[in-house]
Structure formats: C-alpha cells, structure tokens
C-alpha cells in the first residue's frame, strides 16, 4: 500500500542525525526550555525572515497563545475559513473568542478577501477583532489583500501556517505577513517532529514578550505569574529533532513540487479538477488535492489498488456539531466551502515518494476514470 503520507519515511531519511541529536539531549540532563529550544527558535525565525520565534507545545497552542498575545478574549470575534482543521476554531474558543466563518474562493479553497470585506461590513461581525487566514494544503492565502483589509478596519492578523512551512508569497515566507503566526510541527507536517510541537512567530517585540509569558504560566520571574498563562513548552527532544530536519526542508519541499508537477501533467484533461495556487506564490504541497463528484468511489477504488488517499476535510467547520451554532444566517453564505468539502481528496504526497510510486498512483486514478467511471 502506498500511504497518503509517511512521517516514518521522513524519520528514516535522517535517522543517524536524529539519533545523535536525541543522545545529545539525553546526556545534557535538560529536557524543557534549554539550549536546543533556544537554538531552534533562532534558526526557525531566521529561516522565515522573522525577528522572534517562541517554541510551544502544539500548533493549536500556538494559535491560542498568539490570539491572547494580540489581546483577543472573551466575546471577541475572529474571522476565519470553515475549510480547515478543527484546531483553528478550537484555538479561537480556547481564547474565549467566537469564530466567524467566511467563505472561500472556489478556485483556491482559501479565505476570499472580497467575501471577507463584505462580512466585516455586516452587522453579524460586530466586535470583530482579528482574522486567521489559513494557508491550506501548503497553498498561501492572498496576504497582500488580507493585510490591506486589516489595516483599513484595524484588525489583528494571525496566520495559520500549520501546512505552509517554507511557502512564500512574492519571495516572502508565510508567517511573516501577519502580526503573528502559528506553526505546527506535528509529525506529518512538511517540517515535523516526532511528537507534538509548535511555534509562534512575530516581528513585533512586544507581542513576542507577551507570547513568552503566556507559554509558561505568565512567568517572567520563576514561580511568579505576571499574567494568567498556561503550560505549553516545546521540549528539548523535539527541538533537537527539528534542528536536524530544518536544513533539508527546502529540498524536500522542492521534491513535493516535482511530485505535484507529475500529478498535474498526468491528470491534465481528465475529469479531476485541482486546487489552484494564488498568483506569485511558491506552493509547498503539504497535500496534493484533486476534486471529484464521486470521490468516495474513487477512494474505495484507490484503496483496492493499493493506493492510500484521504479527505482534507470532509465536513466544513460550521456543519460540525461543536461549531454549528456559528452558522451564518444566510443558507448559501458558505456554499463554496461546502461544495469543496464534498469533493476534495488528497493523493499520496511526501518527499520520499519515488517516481515509480507516483506512476502507480497516476495509473490507478486513470484506471478508475477509464474502466469504472466511463465503462466501455
């Protein structure tokens, strides 16, 4: 079976260096917020072109901490897309705020700036304080337009970069456009640890200081909480592993783009549609997503042929029981998100995929189209 993603393969590619890094941490006797975390925070923020990086326990915590550092709290409203993982909305509610869902562009699957501005002007978006654009599938959102809106309406912007490690817009990395950004280092990410981990990124020193306090009980002085904080610390082991893997990120993202090009060339002219990149971006293909009206049949056929595929994501957030109360009053307000959620599926995508494996995936997809969808 060709898996849809394979963090295990990624580990094996760097096994010797990772083993050495783990041994180094074990021998140091320091396992929380030590030299490895400090070094990774500096290396990661430098790679992105940002001033400050704060390692935290997960990508969800990174969003939560960034929201609170930006002053977002109880009763405030935060605009975001319903076409994302539940973590985006969960972090908003963890901060005491209310997620407000705005529809996506049907071509990109990303937060639509035009619909966002219409929503900002609407009565239902009173007390709107922030925007969380999600760089879904490794495809950067139109940050130039979103930042222009944020400036116009005096809103904070926190980028959800959980799937966009190394992606850029006009040669500027995602995570450096908004007031703050949140990254996840979950094992399946383009830059993944061997457990949970995350980081908050910002170019604002004051916001960085607030995030530092929030990640560890609000301590500036140990055991004295200056403000109400939480316990969310990137541990030394994960930081050491991420330091090993970071130098390979650009090369691995380049391989993802090669695989995406092979898929795109092979599927050109087929009945499968693809998610389109925004102009002037460098996509990093955390997922390679195609769309089909009969995607469950496609998934079942691919599985039978030994090809793993998944759905990211099958149910938009506003249709999930936990967030159904945040449905907009207009029935068709999120129509694009609902249609995409009903059609998307992700083909296998990870840097260690061989061309032979990619060919097998393509062959299986074409076989479904010619022998199942269009029987002789």
In order along its 376 residues, the chain shows pLDDT tens digits of: 999 998 877 778 889 999 999 999 999 999 999 999 999 999 999 999 999 999 999 999 999 999 999 999 999 999 999 999 999 999 999 999 999 999 999 999 999 999 999 999 987 788 999 999 999 999 999 999 999 999 999 999 999 999 999 999 999 999 999 999 999 999 999 999 999 999 999 999 999 999 999 999 988 988 898 999 999 999 999 999 999 999 999 999 999 999 999 999 999 989 999 988 878 999 999 999 999 999 999 999 999 999 999 999 999 999 999 998 888 877 789 999 999 999 999 999 999 999 999 999 999 999 998 887 666 4
Return d(Cα 367, Cα 370) in angstroms, integer. Answer: 5
Return d(Cα 49, Cα 43) in angstroms, integer. Answer: 10
Q: Hunting for tokens 């869902």 — which residue is that?
A: 101
CB 181 within 8 A of CB 168: no
Which residue intervals of the chain bear CATH 3.40.640.10?
7-102+109-247
- 209's enclosing H/E stretch is helix 205-215
User: In this structure, are strands 98-101 and 180-184 parallel, antiparallel, or unpaired?
Assistant: unpaired
Which residue intervals of the chain bear CATH 3.90.1150.10?
249-373
Bridge-partner residues for 131, per DSSP? 79, 157
Q: How many CA atoms lie within 13 A of 332 on its CB side?
A: 0
Closest Cα to residue 99, out of 322, 323, 319? Answer: 323
**Domain covering 7-102+109-247 assigned CATH 3.40.640.10 in the classification:** yes
Closest Cα to residue 198, out of 99, 323, 7, 54? Answer: 54
**Domain covering 249-373 assigned CATH 3.90.1150.10 in the classification:** yes
């Amino acid at each position: 079976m060709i898996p849809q993603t394979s963090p295990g393969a990624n580990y094996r590619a760097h096994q010797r260096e990772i083993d050495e890094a783990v041994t180094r941490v074990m021998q140091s006797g320091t396992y929380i917020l030590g030299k490895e975390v400090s070094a990774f925070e500096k290396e990661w923020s430098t790679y992105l072109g940002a001033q400050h990086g704060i390692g935290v326990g997960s990508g969800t915590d990174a969003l939560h901490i960034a929201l609170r550092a930006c002053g977002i709290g109880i009763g405030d409203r935060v605009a975001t897309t319903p076409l994302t993982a539940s973590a985006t909305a969960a972090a908003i509610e963890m901060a005491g705020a209310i997620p407000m869902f705005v529809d996506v562009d049907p071509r990109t699957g990303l937060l639509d700036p035009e619909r966002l501005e219409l929503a900002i002007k609407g009565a239902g978006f009173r007390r709107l304080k922030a925007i969380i654009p999600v760089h879904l599938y490794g495809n950067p959102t139109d940050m130039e337009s979103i930042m222009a809106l944020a400036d116009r309406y005096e809103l904070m912007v926190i980028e959800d970069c959980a799937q966009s490690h190394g992606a850029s817009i006009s040669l500027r990395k995602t995570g450096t456009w908004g007031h703050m950004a949140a990254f996840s280092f979950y094992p399946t990410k383009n830059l993944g640890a061997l457990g949970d981990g995350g980081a908050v990124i910002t170019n604002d020193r004051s916001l960085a200081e607030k995030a530092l306090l929030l990640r560890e009980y609000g301590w500036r002085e140990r055991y004295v909480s200056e403000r109400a904080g939480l316990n969310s610390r990137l541990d030394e082991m994960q930081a050491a592993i991420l330091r090993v893997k970071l130098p390979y990120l650009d090369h691995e993202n380049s391989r993802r783009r090669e695989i995406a090009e092979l898929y795109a060339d092979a599927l050109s002219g087929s009945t499968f549609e693809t998610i389109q990149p925004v102009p002037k971006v460098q996509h990093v293909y955390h997922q390679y997503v195609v769309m089909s009206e009969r995607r469950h049949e496609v998934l079942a056929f691919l599985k039978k042929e030994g090809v793993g595929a998944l759905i990211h994501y099958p149910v938009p957030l506003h249709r999930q029981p936990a967030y159904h109360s945040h449905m907009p009053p207009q029935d068709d307000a999120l129509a694009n998100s609902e249609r995409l959620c009903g059609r998307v599926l992700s083909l296998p995508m990870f840097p260690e995929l061989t061309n032979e494996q990619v060919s097998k995936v393509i062959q299986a997809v074409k076989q479904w189209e010619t022998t199942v969808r269009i029987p002789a």
